[in-house]
Amino acid sequence: MRTRPSYTHTVLTVIAVLLGLHLMVRFDGSTGNAAFAQPENQPGSTADKIPFNAAEQRKTMIAQLEQIHRRLGAIESRLDRGISVKVTEMPAMPAAEKK
């Protein structure tokens, strides 16, 4: 007859108690994390009123890319013509290091 519980019996008892506590905490009826209960979009926001339209999104992106292309073209043409630079104040030159 054993009077002392074995190591395995003790470990299994501790695991069973911890699992029971875990279940009690998980299913205690609380709402849990409030962030999970929030809707993705707040009611009345513009995202609720405008359904997702992939074709319209692509058209918008293409229009924006065309605008970027025009602006970049203007910058390139300006650089190709040359930029006039006038130095009004010369910064101090560091002394030449002796070798």
Give the number of C-alpha atoms closer than 13 A to the C-alpha of residue 5, restricted to the C-beta side: 8
Q: What is the DSSP string of 28-63?
A: SS----HHHHS-SS-TT-HHHHS---HHHHHHHHHH
CA separation for the pair 82, 76 (Å, rounded): 10
41-62 average pLDDT score: 78
**Which two tokens mark 4?**
């002392």
Task: Report whether pLDDT(69) > 70.
Answer: yes
> With contact defined as beta carbons under 8 Å apart, do 41 and 48 qualify?
yes
Q: Which pLDDT band holds residue 94 (cuts at 50, 70, 90)? A: confident
DSSP letter assigned to residue 79 = H
pLDDT confidence of residue 44: 63
Between residues 44 and 74, the one the model is more confident about: 74
Q: What's at 49, amino acid-wise?
A: K
